[in-house]
Amino acid sequence: MILKTSQELYQLTVQVFSACGATPEEAAWVAEELVEASLMGIDSHGVIRIPQYVNQVFSGSIKPGSKIQIIRETPSTAVVDCGLNFGAVSANKMVDILLEKAEHSHIACVVSRRSHHVGRLGAYAQKVAEKQMVALAAVNGAKGEHCVAPWGGREGRLCTNPFAYAVPTSKEPLVFDMSTSMIAEGRLRMYKNKGEPVPLGRILDANGNPSTDPKDFYGPPAGTLLPFGAELGYKGFGLGLLVEILGGVLAGVSLSDDADYVNGLCLIAINPDAFYGKESFVQEMDQLSEYMLSCPTAPGFDKITLPGALDFHRKEQRLQSGVPIDEVTWETIVKAAQKVGCSIC
């Protein structure tokens, strides 16, 4: 395991994507999102993505510098054409658009077209909460990547379709970010790489039978991930379907086979000023948080954890101790940097 400081990772990421043709502002946004995810311990959405994004720039899938623009709007809504720029860049622009609309219209909804991979969904909800508003966020994925079976099915019909929300408190916001499947594909790959069985109830083989062998998911023939909820998986399926509707159908791009997008992002902001005011809202949220944290624990637990608290805690730790990166991952990052002629590596 290698330890890197967040500054090292940030500078490296900025250099790599600048060398890829990103503007300074774009490179900074991508670096901010990837390093923040790595700091928070959400490693699957962190700097591990650098080689992938570099390859996607080379293949023309990501288009640095391309225009991000509102193509349809009302005072409270917008459809944003993300131009296949980096997802982190377009998602941040969508947050800005959303905040401005929610400041004036009290509740607002912004959806994407032609968005690339946005990374950690909770990040964008969090940015809204940092402006003292309530955020809901959902992100779907293109049809070619559908790997989650509907409840009762044995073919992929949805992506892992995460749903997130964030809510301000007087300290860190609550940041909740869940996939609507029983396991994220990145986690499953870890089991496969280690040669370990995956717990039962996470995946089906191609025939729709439960399996603990990650290879049964990857195939061929490919299996599926189960929707969240174990024997109540119809609930997880319903939540995944909602994400598909918000992230895809609302923007009119859900199911086209040749859809030129990776993620369909939907952001909703609710402004407490329309109700009892931001200050009063934050006070009530502090009370609610305290009430949850005051709950005596069940055997096996030593405290109650609010959504996002572990991630903020890990960030603090890693800001001190550095971000651990395994050697194989680091090597692929170094190679990607070399590919774009990045001198530091």
Among 85-93, 185-193, 275-283, 325-333, the segment contacting its own copies (CB under 8 A): 275-283
The nearer residue to its own copies, 64 or 223, going by C-beta atoms, is: 223
Tell me: does residue 71 bind its own copies (CB under 8 A).
Answer: no
Which one of 21, 153, 186, 324 is in contact with its own copies (CB under 8 A)?
A: 153
Gap between the Cα atoms of 252 and 258, Å rounded:
13
Q: Which of 186, 238, 322, 324 binds its own copies (CB under 8 A)?
A: 238
Least distance in angstroms from the C-beta of 223 to its own copies = 10
- CA torsion sign for 329, 338, 315, 111 is negative
Which member of 11, 44, 52, 105 binds its own copies (CB under 8 A)?
105
What is the closest distance, in whole angstroms, from the C-beta atom of residue 92 to its own copies in the complex?
A: 21
Task: Tell me the C-alpha distance between 227 and 43, whole Å.
Answer: 22
Mark the segment that binds its own copies (CB under 8 A) among 243-251, 257-265, 328-336, 337-345: 243-251
Does residue 296 have a cis peptide bond before it, meaning omega lies within 30 degrees of 0? no
Q: How many CA atoms lie within 13 A of 285 on its CB side?
A: 24
The yes or no reply on residue 249 touching its own copies (CB under 8 A) is yes
Among residues 42, 8, 12, which one has the least CA distance to residue 30?
12
- Which helix (H) or strand (E) covers residue 176, if one does? strand 174-178
Candidates 26-34, 45-53, 201-209, 324-332 — which segment interacts with its own copies by CB under 8 A? 201-209
Size of the site for its own copies (CB under 8 A): 78
Q: How far is the CB of 66 from its own copies (least distance, A)?
A: 22
- The structure tokens 């994507």 sit at 17
Of the candidates 55, 69, 207, 317, which one interacts with its own copies according to CB under 8 A? 207
Question: Which residue's structure tokens are 């990607």?
Answer: 336
Say how far apart CA 16 and CA 342 lie, in whole Å.
Answer: 6
